[in-house]
Amino acid sequence: MNKIDKFSKEISFIKNEKYKKNASIVIDMLPDYFFVVPASSTGKYHPSFSLGDGGLLRHTKVAVRIALELLNNNSIGYNFNQDEKDLIIFGLLIHDGLKSGLEKSKYTLADHPKLICNYLKDNKDKLTLTDNEINFLCNIVESHMGEWNTDYNNNEILPKPTNKYQRFVHMCDFLSSRKFLSVLFENDEIVE
């Protein structure tokens, strides 16, 4: 499986060549399961397009597409410079990259946002990102779960969004997970 090809369209939304290259590297390092599992291990929390084989891939594509549409809207996108927009797209591409851990677990891991951030930091020698860029990505990814920031014992384990970048990423992920949303796909690509 060519993992980068699965997200070639979404990677093309990134303008900065350095970010584009680094997003490709990280996507290629994601576990194979990411590209074939449903977005929700139970099927309770996501719309039909993100269920079944490849559901997590499709959920991610929709979150990225929502971000792109909003960032390209002058009434909303003016609030971010181009590098910030690119890093937001990058962050959304990888936000659920370790949703079931490094080795696939049966269920979603509540701390998966922290896992992908640690994975980025542990593999920074493979990337050309600065510490500030990695920290920006981690900052927006760690809080993408929003108010669903507790473990299965109701212990708060993730930060809630507090800045405009975190809130934007959470909003895109949240909207992509709404059951009323209907997005048409053909061969795992959004139908225009």
The reported pLDDT for the residue numbered 39 is 92
pLDDT tens string 24-66: 999 999 999 999 999 987 777 789 999 999 999 999 999 999 9
Average confidence (pLDDT) over 118-135: 98
Per-residue pLDDT tens over the stretch 140-173:
999 999 999 988 888 898 899 999 999 999 999 9
CA of 71: how far to CAs of 19, 75, 81, 164, 168, in Å? 17, 9, 10, 13, 10
* pLDDT(85) > 80: yes
For residue 9, the model assigns a pLDDT of 98
Give the per-residue pLDDT at 109. Answer: 87
Give the CA diameter of the chain.
Answer: 42
CB-side exposure of 78: number of CA atoms within 13 Å?
A: 3
Strands 185-186 and 189-190: antiparallel
**Domain-wise residue ranges, the chain:** 3-36+47-184
Alpha helices in the chain (DSSP H): 3-6, 8-12, 17-29, 55-71, 74-77, 82-94, 112-122, 131-142, 164-176
Residues whose CB falls within 8 Å of the CB of residue 85, separated by 6 or more in sequence, listed in order: 15, 71, 77
Q: Please count the other Cβ atoms lying within 10 Å of the Cβ belonging to residue 189.
A: 14
Q: What is the DSSP string of 35-53?
A: GTS-SSSSSSSS-GGGSST
Tokens of 119: 């994975």
Rounded to an integer, what distance in angstroms lies between the CA atom of residue 30 and that of residue 43? 22
What integer is the mean pLDDT of 88-98?
98
- In this predicted structure, the answer to whether residue 122 has a pLDDT above a threshold of 80 is yes
Arithmetic mean of pLDDT over the chain: 95
Instruction: Identify the CATH number of the domain defined by range 3-36+47-184.
Output: 1.10.3210
